[in-house]
Amino acid sequence: MATRKFGKRGLDVAAVAGLGMAVGVLATAAAQRHTLESLRVRLERLEQQAHAQRHANLASQQRQHWELLSKAIDDPGLAEVLDIFEVPASPAKRRQYLYANALYTNLLFYYRIGNLTKDEFFKRVRGTFQNPIVREYWYATAQQRASIADTEEAELGLMVDDLLRQLEEADTDEWWVVGEPPAE
């Protein structure tokens, strides 16, 4: 009789120990899952903060760019500092070019912060470049764009170059249908 009780008790102890181990493993897994979820949430928050900081930095840079251009547009002496065009420009033409730069840079900024898709950027540029002064500005700054190869801005500049070529070759007055908007 004693042997039977001992054998049964040994099995009970083993079962309880196994059950205890299983509970321990499940508790550990639950704790790890909670820790991983907490880390995922923190990482998402950090990514959102980095994204917001990038937007804030771009907004600050855009504001500075406009302030500098405004000063140069208002003061011909300062505008001479920015005369980096490939063709000589009169003070009046230089002011127009600086304003064209501000228009294009504004579209570029809107695209960079996500307010415009590439398709929308393309369509807005297509409209903006209907102005002959804006086109002159674009051609007068070709060498500057060539110096920023392998950047997002350079890629967009090449897209504008291609669009302008298509607009000049088009045999239609319906400029709004010229060019194929880029794939996103």
Residue type, 112: R
Q: pLDDT tens digit string along 94-149?
A: 999 999 999 999 999 999 988 999 999 999 999 999 999 999 999 999 888 888 88
Q: pLDDT tens digit string along 146-175?
A: 888 888 888 999 999 999 998 888 877 777
List Cβ neighbours of 163 (8 Å cut-off, separation of 6 or more). 122, 125, 126, 129, 178, 179
Asked if 121 and 109 touch (Cβ cutoff 8 Å), the reply is: no
Q: Which residue has the tokens 């054998």?
A: 7
Which residue, 133, 104, 134, 137, is CA-closest to 121?
104
What's the predicted TM-score (pTM) here?
Answer: 0.68
Determine the Cα–Cα distance for residues 61 and 30; give it in Å rounded to an integer: 46
